[in-house]
Amino acid sequence: MADHVEKVIYDGDPGHDDVMAIVMAAGDPHIDLLAVTTVAGNTTLENATRNALMLMDVMDLDIPVVPGCAKPLLRKLHTAPQVHGEGGLDGAGYWEPKRKPVNEHAADFLIRTLMESDGDINVVTAGPMTNLALAMIREPRICDKIKQILFMGGGRYGNITGAAEFNIWVDAEAAKVVFDSPCKKVMCGLDLTYQACLTEEVYKKIAGIDTKLGHFLYDILGFFSHAPVTKEEPGPAINDPCPVAYLIDPKVFTTNDYYVDVMTAPGITYGMTVLDYYRLNPWEEIPAPNVTVGEKLDFDRFWEIMLNAIKALG
């Protein structure tokens, strides 16, 4: 028996690292994965939903997959085929999933499930925050029901522009709605997630897992290992599982609380998360810290959690 169990709705855009996050959530006994809601981001909504359902087939799990927004709140959609391929999850081939998506919009699903809950559900987002923002706009009372929001996004530098991280940049208006909400927020930005690299050594360990899921992950990560990396990284960052890992074991990374806001003005800083890192200025007008920010990752523990989850799914 796990010493604690966290209920989770996972909202993402699978996507290779989303798949790793969903596997971690589905396979670890500390997480009760209630549903996967999908959103356009890494790839189109249609692809992201199909990819999530394909993963459910591979894991042979009946976790509801609920499609949401096909485009950002205001802007046109930008996807990332240069990272994830044209289908959003290149590497293992595509098929028509056996399982079908839930016939309800993700924003409605979030509202209904959260309003019926005892306030014990964590919302993890690992794509653009469009679904969650739309749900908050339609039913602001969900903010009193969300236990906490843990998200992959932002950072003190960018990956899609010099200033902005992809998830925030795709829909900065949605991120602004979420940042402005009173919910407790845990941010896994690039500074943290770039420590969660897929090294050769880790990839070999995944290669050694002789199960249907192990083979599938080996194939998709083989494609993903050609994704663009920074000069400091020994392999591509597996960004999206970081917030899930924190729910499983809060010691997997260190945190500090900061004031963070999102730039929505057009121009080169669109989508930037501005973080008052040093907080040296004593002016009273500077808002109080509003986000718990992940900083130093325990790499070995992160991959231990991940490999255990993959093996547990058989």
How would you label 145-162 residue by residue, b for 16+ Cβ within 10 Å and e otherwise?
Answer: bbbbbbbbbbbbbbbbee
Give the Cβ contact number of residue 177 at 10 Å: 20
**Contact partner at residue 158 from ligand BDR, Ca ion, none, CB < 5 to 8 Å by partner kind:** none
Which of 109, 151, 166, 253 is the binder for ligand BDR (CB under 6 A)?
Answer: 166
- By beta-carbon proximity to ligand BDR, the closer residue of 111 and 169 is 169
Should residue 167 be labelled a site residue for ligand BDR when binding is judged by CB under 6 A?
Answer: yes
**Contact partner at residue 290 from Ca ion, ligand BDR, none, CB < 5 to 8 Å by partner kind:** none
Least distance from C-beta 127 to Ca ion, angstroms?
4
Is 69:97 a contact under the CB 8 Å cutoff? no
Should residue 170 be labelled a site residue for Ca ion when binding is judged by CB under 5 A?
Answer: no
Least distance from C-beta 237 to ligand BDR, angstroms?
7
Which of 9, 11, 15, 246 is the binder for ligand BDR (CB under 6 A)?
Answer: 15
Q: What angle do CA 121, 126, 127 make, to 5 degrees?
A: 120
CA distance 41 to 175: 13
- By beta-carbon proximity to ligand BDR, the closer residue of 111 and 245 is 245
**Binding string to Ca ion for residues 210 to 239, with x set by CB under 5 A, is what?**
------------------------------
- By beta-carbon proximity to ligand BDR, the closer residue of 42 and 130 is 42
Should residue 177 be labelled a site residue for ligand BDR when binding is judged by CB under 6 A?
Answer: no
User: What is the 8-class DSSP label of residue 167?
Assistant: H
Should residue 129 be labelled a site residue for ligand BDR when binding is judged by CB under 6 A?
Answer: no
Q: What angle do CA 199, 204, 210 make, to 5 degrees?
A: 140
- By beta-carbon proximity to ligand BDR, the closer residue of 126 and 220 is 126
Of 217-246, which residues contact ligand BDR (CB under 6 A)?
239-240
In the sheet that holds 31-38, the strands lie side by side as 65-67, 31-38, 6-12, 121-125, 146-152, 185-188, 291-297, 253-258
Distance of CA 129 to the CA centre of its chain: 10
Is 272:239 a contact under the CB 8 Å cutoff? no
CA atoms within 13 Å, Cβ hemisphere of 225: 14
Which of 6, 18, 90, 171 is the binder for Ca ion (CB under 5 A)?
Answer: 18
The stretch near ligand BDR (CB under 6 A) out of 23-31, 71-79, 161-169, 208-216 is 161-169
In angstroms, what CA-CA distances link 46 with 17, 65, 84, 240? 18, 12, 14, 20
User: What is the 8-class DSSP label of residue 44?
Assistant: -
Should residue 90 be labelled a site residue for ligand BDR when binding is judged by CB under 6 A?
Answer: no
The stretch near ligand BDR (CB under 6 A) out of 140-148, 158-166, 180-188, 256-264 is 158-166
The stretch near Ca ion (CB under 5 A) out of 43-51, 125-133, 182-190, 227-235 is 125-133
CA distance 5 to 13: 24
CA distance 220 to 203: 11
Should residue 273 be labelled a site residue for ligand BDR when binding is judged by CB under 6 A?
Answer: no
What backbone phi and psi angles, to 5 degrees, belong to 61?
A: -125, 145
- By beta-carbon proximity to ligand BDR, the closer residue of 131 and 167 is 167
| Binding site residues, ligand BDR, CB under 6 A | 15, 17-18, 42, 80, 83, 126-127, 152, 159, 165-167, 239-240
| Binding site residues, Ca ion, CB under 5 A | 12-13, 15, 18, 126-127, 240
